[in-house]
Structure 1
Amino acid sequence: MKYILSCVKILVFITVLVHSNLLFAQEKIIAIVNGEKIHFFEVKTFLNKVIPIGKFHVQSLNKKEFWDEAIESAVNARTIVLYLKKNKPKLYEKVDNKAKEIVDVIKKRFKSNEDYIKALNENGISENILIDTYRDLNVKEIIKEEIFKEKISDDILKNYYDNNLGMFSTGSFYIVKNCLIEADARELNPKQMEEKKKEAEKIASLIKAGDKNIWSKCDKGKYPEEDRVYKFSKNYPVDKIFSLKVGDVGGPYKNIYGYLIVKVIDEKPSEVVPYKEIKSEIERLMKQRRFKDYYKEILKRAKDEATIKIFDNNNSR
Structure 2
Amino acid sequence: MNKILKTVKTHKIKIIGVVGFIVAILVAMFFVFSSSLQTVLEINNEKINKKEFLMRYNILKQNAIEMSNRPDILDIEYSGMKYKDWLKNKVIELLITETLCLQEAKKRGMKLTFAEEQEVNNYINNIKNDKYAREMFYEYLKKIKSNEELFKKQLLRERLIDKLYKEITKNVTLKEQEMKQYYENNKNEYRMVKVVDIFLRVENEQQKAEKEKLANQLMAKIKNGGSIFDLAQKYSEITTKNGQKGVIDYFRKGEKESEFGSVFEEKVFNLKKGEISEIIQTLNGYHIAQIIDEKFAPYESVKGEIEQSLKKQKKDKVFQEYLNELRKKSVIKEFRNRIATIN
| TM-score bracket for the superposition, by shorter chain length | 0.5 to 0.7
**Partner of 1:279 in structure 2?**
303
Give the residue type in structure 2 aligned to 1:253: I
Give the counterpart of 1:258 among 263, 285, 288. 285
For residue 71 of structure 1, what is the aligned residue in structure 2?
A: 92
Residue 170 of structure 1, CA deviation: 3.4
Indicate the percent of aligned positions where both proteins have the same amino acid. Answer: 17
Shift of 1:281: 1.3
Q: CA deviation at 1:24?
A: 4.8
Report the residue type matching 2:320 in the other structure: K
TM-score by structure 2 length?
0.60
Kindly indicate which of the two structures has a greater share of residues assigned to helix.
2
Three-state SS of the structure 2 residue aligned to 1:265 is strand
Q: Give the partner amino acid of 2:238.
A: K
Cα distance in 1 for residues equivalent to 2:39 and 2:116: 25
Corresponding residue for residue 86 of structure 1: 107
Name the structure 2 match of 1:159: 177
Aligned to 1:28: 38
With over 3 angstroms needed to count, the CA separation of the structure-2 counterparts of 1:95 and 1:278, relative to structure 1, is farther
Deviation readout 1:111-167 (Å, 9 max, x if unpaired): xxxxx9xx99xx79996x766644555555555667898896xxx553223333423
State yes or no: 1:209 paired with 2:226: yes
- The change in CA–CA distance for 1:135 and 1:95 in structure 2 (over 3 A counts) is farther
C-alpha change, 1:174 and 1:125, in structure 2 (3 Å) is closer
Q: 1:36 to 1:104 in 2, by over 3 A?
A: farther
Matched, 1:183 2:202: yes
> 2:162 and 2:292 mapped to 1: Cα distance?
45
| Among candidates 54, 57, 61, match of residue 44 of structure 1 | 54
- Aligned partner of 2:247 in structure 1 is 225
**Pairwise CA RMSD:** 4.7
Unmatched runs of 5 consecutive residues or more in structure 2: 1-28, 129-137, 256-261
Larger Rg: 2
Greater RCO between the two (CA within 8 Å, min separation 6)?
1
SS in 1 for 2:112: helix
1:6 is matched with none
Give, in angstroms, the shift of residue 275 of structure 1: 2.4
Give the whole-Å Cα distance in 2 for the aligned partners of 1:260 and 1:28. 56
Change (3 A) 1:214 1:78: closer
Cα distance, 1:103–1:219 mapped onto 2, change above 3 Å = closer
- SS of the aligned residue for 1:251 comes to coil
Distance 2:198 2:178 in 1: 39
**CA shift digits 1:198-231 (9 cap, x unpaired):** 1222334455523826523211269971345778
Q: Aligned AA for 1:297?
A: E
Q: State the aligned residue count.
A: 269
* In 2, Cα distance between equivalents of 1:125 and 1:29: 21
129-138 vs 162-171, greater mean Cα deviation: 129-138
Q: 1:281 to 1:146 in 2, by over 3 A?
A: farther
